[in-house]
Amino acid sequence: MSKTLFEKIVAREIPATIVHEDELTLAIRDINPQAPTHVLIFPRKPIPRIAEAQAADAQLLAHLLLKAAELAGKLGLAKGYRLVINNGPDGGETIPHLHCHILGGRHMAWPPG
């Protein structure tokens, strides 16, 4: 099975603008930003999508969300931000590796799309 884009970034096989890295997660600038600040944070462990996460992944998922919130603060998003996780083709998923979009730097409309 071939590596996902994010696995290739983790392995440094393709370049990315990394804004956070720890033993469990990596965060990069989105190459097609949908807001002034658009960062993707994802686990190093390749979980295809949130619907395929297991109970054993609970601590990793908690770490991912807590790091997303911490990173949003470091990115200057004190006025607010949106976290988005897409699941499956109808949910907008384009890369089968769980990731969370951190969007901010402008007012977010509702409904989102």
Tens digits of residue pLDDT in 1-59: 689 999 999 999 999 999 999 999 999 999 999 999 999 999 999 999 999 999 999 99
- Which distant-in-sequence residues (6+ apart) come within 8 Å of 105 by Cβ? 35, 36, 37, 76, 77
What are the structural domains, with CATH classification, of the chain?
A: 5-104 (3.30.428.10)
Q: Does the annotation count 101 as an active-site position?
A: no
* Predicted local confidence at residue 112, as pLDDT: 78
Instruction: Extract the tokens encoding 8.
Output: 């290739």
* Predicted local confidence at residue 22, as pLDDT: 97
- Which distant-in-sequence residues (6+ apart) come within 8 Å of 31 by Cβ? none
* Span 81-112, pLDDT tens digits: 999 999 999 999 999 999 999 999 999 999 87
DSSP secondary structure letter of residue 75: T
Active-site residue, selected from the candidate residues 20, 99, 101, 107: 99
Question: Model's pTM, two decimal places?
Answer: 0.94
